[in-house]
Amino acid sequence: MSLKNVFRICIALLVAVSFCTLTTFCRAEESQIIKLWPGKMPGPAAKVDGAERDLTKLEDKLIAGRPIIKLGHVSTPQMQVYLPDKAKANGGAVLICPGGGFSILAWDLEGTEVAEWLNSLGFAAVVVKYRVPTGYLGNELNEPGNAPLKTVGPVMDAQRAMSITRLHAADWGIDPQRIGIMGFSAGGETAGLAAILRDQRLYSKIDAADDQSCAPNFALLIYPGGFYDKETGGLKPYLKVTKDTPPMFFAMAQDDQVNCLNCTALFTALTKEKVPAEIHLFTRGGHGYGLRATLTPVTHWPNRAAKWLRDMGYASSQASLASAGTPSEGNPADHLPRNVMQITTFGERPEFSHNGQRVFFLSKQYGDVMEYTIRSGKIRCLTQHFKHHGFNRVMVLSNGDYLLTGPDETFDATCKDARLKARHLAKMFVLDRSLTKPPTPLGFVAAEGPAVSRTQLKIAWTHHFKGESRQTAISAGDLVYENGIPKLVNTRLVLTTKDFPNGQRPKMIETQNFVGPDDKQITVSAYLIENGHNTEGYLFDLETRKLTNFTNTPDDYEEVEGIFPDGQSTLVERNHSVGKPWPMVDAWRVWFDGSLEPKRLTRFLDFPGYKSSNYAVSDDGRLMAFQLGISGDEAGVGYGVFLMEVAP
């Protein structure tokens, strides 16, 4: 048997498995299939040849290494309903119109896979199996002059599905004012038309379902066609955008053969009418990728769409972290407020670049250093060009180089004592920002993470005295470069636990941040004060050696993490600590002078077993990065990085 035939058999098996998944997905997700029309459907019929079936061929192009289901000859329009887990449900819903050039439906790529993604965000999802093929009807307009004939049947099906969804809103736990529509390619044209037409139904009322509005509350159009008029260079004249047209989200690549001007023309019309809209155009990416992520940035559009849905309020939930609540079920990552976005599903200990456009983090405890670019959503590894034993911190120096901490020898990661040694006796390194050579060891040991000035080449770090089991001292030093090689000089001991006043003496301390704008002070966390369970936050003046307790909450755990650039306030990991020295925590903002009451920023503790931790603030003070933690893990272990827009 030839290699080519073997490959074709493998593809055939993949197609079979994919179709099997299609037929069983309904049972696994407890979806419901509803026939759209009770009798003869209105409008032009699809030009079918035989029964509805998958038209995928062995030689068809793979998308992200996988085949797709090309559903053809659809003569009986249906809607397939996927409801999210009750713990995740946010009350919103989205109808999905798969693409396929009005010839087929890309059923899994732009249908069921999208439903699964929307369910993960808490939305109910309705995949519209609209009639195809209808392309034979062409682009001539219908009698009212508001839709091309090839789109009339599909738009009717979408409008009917919208009305039926609203009819069942109460039964399905849906807010009838938060039902949107989403489409890809030809499905994007269908969805866009349905949104623009709003309640201009293309068919006469059939039954009570049509008493419900068929107007979407919002629309997401992904690489759509059909809107750009080549003759005028603008929107096609039959598309009447008004101030009542619903908000829209667009994503497309500039090199898409369908032409990204379909997005820009409609976006411009919406802007002229002051209708909220957001557009994401990427340099390359082509057409027809659905949600299947690759290294091409355009395939990460779902991150932007999820954030837009939250920002616009369509993902509002009773379990939202925006306000205090009783303990909730599920994962807090599935119930984020509008100002929070999850950017990775792995990693820990985030840190911002100076321009706030990139987030650095560790892939895992004693892992690689990663970089996330906010604009593109692209993630890359910064430490794959040299051998190492893993890192437990990454920080950005004032010149853009990276300060890393981690072990300099192999250790048994399965042994708790070995892991603790790697964390508390970590070596410090400087990694050149060019990423062309291994990092330079500084020759000093740090327990936990150093404090790094964002404006000057100086650091402070916590360490042990010889023979002691806890970190009880903080030293400081300056970084200089001799022939391009970094070196730590002017090192000096600046603080020990013995410098704390009687009655406030901790068992151990840890430096956290330099305090801007002059960086003459550092923040310090003091643990297990006077053998008690509380942890306090202190300011320490490096020149006057003055110690100031700015938290002063004997019954609370308050570990300093992240500082605002104006030097007026900081973030702390906070919770009550009576009877428990290391409680689960959430983020609070605390002002050094006490002029404002502490402000709680996250509510991951509302979800039993979860916490938010390890905060960092961007240099402009607008963004906070943090991680998701789980009860029972070692300190610092994270399960994904999040960004929060912080109010002034």
Cα 641–Cα 342–Cα 454 angle in degrees, nearest 5 = 45
Helix (H) or strand (E) holding 6, with range, is helix 3-28
Of 193, 209, 115, 112, the closest CA to residue 155 belongs to: 193
Q: Quick one: tokens of 63? A: 């998308």
pLDDT at 328: 62
55 alpha carbon, distance to own chain's centre: 35
Left if phi > 0, otherwise alpha if psi is -120 to 50, otherwise beta: which for 213?
Answer: beta
Tens-place pLDDT, residues 124-149: 999 999 999 999 999 999 999 999 99
> Is the pLDDT reported for residue 355 higher than 50?
yes
**Domain range summary for the chain, segments of one domain joined by +:** 3-36+64-311, 350-357+369-380+602-643, 385-495, 500-597
Sequence-distant (≥ 6) Cβ neighbours of residue 462 within 8 angstroms: 446, 447, 448, 450, 471, 473, 474, 509, 510, 511
Superfamily of domain 3-36+64-311 in CATH is Alpha/Beta hydrolase fold, catalytic domain (3.40.50.1820)
Q: How far apart, in whole angstroms, are the C-alpha atoms of residue 153 and residue 132?
A: 9
| Whole-Å CA distances, 448 to 198, 368, 512 | 58, 17, 10
Tens-place pLDDT, residues 376-406: 889 999 999 999 999 999 999 999 999 999 9
102 secondary structure, DSSP code: T
Q: How confident is the model at residue 576 (pLDDT cuts 50, 70, 90)?
A: confident
- The answer to whether the beta carbons of residues 193 and 153 sit under 8 Å apart is no
pLDDT at 293: 83
pLDDT at 153: 98
Q: How far apart, in whole angstroms, are the C-alpha atoms of residue 320 and residue 86?
A: 14
Choice among 61-65, 359-363, 465-469, 492-496 with the minimum mean pLDDT: 465-469
> Is the pLDDT reported for residue 411 higher than 60?
yes
Helix 186-197 with 149-167: angle, nearest 10 deg: 60
Q: How confident is the model at residue 554 (pLDDT cuts 50, 70, 90)?
A: confident
Q: How confident is the model at residue 17 (pLDDT cuts 50, 70, 90)?
A: very low
Strand order across the beta sheet in which 369-373 lies: 348-352, 358-362, 369-373, 379-381
Tens-place pLDDT, residues 488-510: 999 999 999 999 998 889 999 99
Tens-place pLDDT, residues 272-326: 999 999 999 999 999 999 999 887 889 889 989 998 998 898 986 533 433 444 4
The rounded percent of the chain whose pLDDT value lies above 70 is 92
Position of tokens 């009447």?
240
pLDDT at 7: 39
Tens-place pLDDT, residues 246-271: 999 999 999 999 999 999 999 999 99
pTM above 0.85, yes or no: no
Q: How confident is the model at residue 556 (pLDDT cuts 50, 70, 90)?
A: confident
pLDDT at 30: 58
Q: How far apart, in whole angstroms, are the C-alpha atoms of residue 533 and residue 579?
A: 7
- The answer to whether the beta carbons of residues 338 and 322 sit under 8 Å apart is yes
pLDDT at 603: 92
pLDDT at 459: 98
Tens-place pLDDT, residues 414-457: 888 888 888 889 999 999 999 999 999 999 999 988 999 999 99
| Whole-Å CA distances, 22 to 17, 37, 54, 68 | 9, 23, 11, 11
pLDDT at 491: 97
pLDDT at 417: 87
Beta bridge partners of 253: 282
Cα 640–Cα 644–Cα 647 angle in degrees, nearest 5 = 165
Q: How far apart, in whole angstroms, are the C-alpha atoms of residue 220 and residue 184?
A: 9
| Strand ranges in 130-254 using DSSP code E only, listed in sequence order | 179-184, 219-222, 228-229, 234-235, 248-253
> Is the pLDDT reported for residue 20 higher than 60?
no
> Is the pLDDT reported for residue 577 higher than 80?
no
Strands 228-229, 426-431: pairing kind: unpaired
Length of the chain: 648
| Strand ranges in 466-578 using DSSP code E only, listed in sequence order | 473-482, 485-496, 508-515, 521-527, 536-541, 547-549, 556-563, 569-576
Cα 30–Cα 33–Cα 34 angle in degrees, nearest 5 = 140
- pLDDT average, residue stretch 544-559: 92
